[in-house]
Each structure stands twice: as C-alpha cells, then as structure tokens.
Amino acid sequence: MNIPNVLTVIRFMIAPVFGYFLYNKQYEISVVLFLLSGLTDVLDGYIARRFNMVTSWGKLADPAADKLMQLIALILLTIQGK
C-alpha cells in the first residue's frame, strides 16, 4: 500500500472519531479532525499525482472517504439543528 492510499485509510479512520466528537458537541475537536481530514485529502491527491502513485483503489476510496466525512457532518449537524 502506497502513501496516498495510507492517507486515505487514515481519513476513513478519522471519520467515526469525528462523528463521535461532533455527536457529543465537542466542536473544537470536531473542527480539528475535519481539517485534518481535509489536509490528508489534499496531500494524498498531490502525492499520488506528483509521484505517479495513482491506483484504482485510490480513485474509488478517496472520494468515498470525502463523502463519508461530509455525510457524517451533514447528518449530525442536521440532527443537532446547527
């Protein structure tokens, strides 16, 4: 597994932790995790393209990890009325 794919896996692992803190209204930690997720997204794309490490798995998993973070945020913020 190459570095961009590892960063994508990390983003998948951040998602439930982000959801936990957002659900428990610990917004400061949630924001940090959301920004960290965004940073890993930028880095994995840059590294994959710059160093020719693009994989079929990464092409599918990267946007899925992005959508997972967005979906968790949307659902939990909607439930909380934010």
**What does the alpha-carbon distance between residue 24 and residue 38 come to, in Å, rounded to a whole number?**
21
Q: pLDDT band at 5, cuts 50/70/90?
A: very high
- Neighbouring C-beta atoms of residue 56, cutoff 10 Å: 7
Tokens of 52: 């020719």
Report how far residue 5's alpha carbon sits from residue 79's, in angstroms, rounded to the nearest whole number.
32
Average pLDDT over residues 52-66: 98
So what's the pLDDT on residue 28? 98
- Look up the pTM and report it: 0.92
Considering only CA atoms, which of 41, 33, 28 is closest in space to residue 16?
Answer: 33
Please give the pLDDT value at position 39. 98
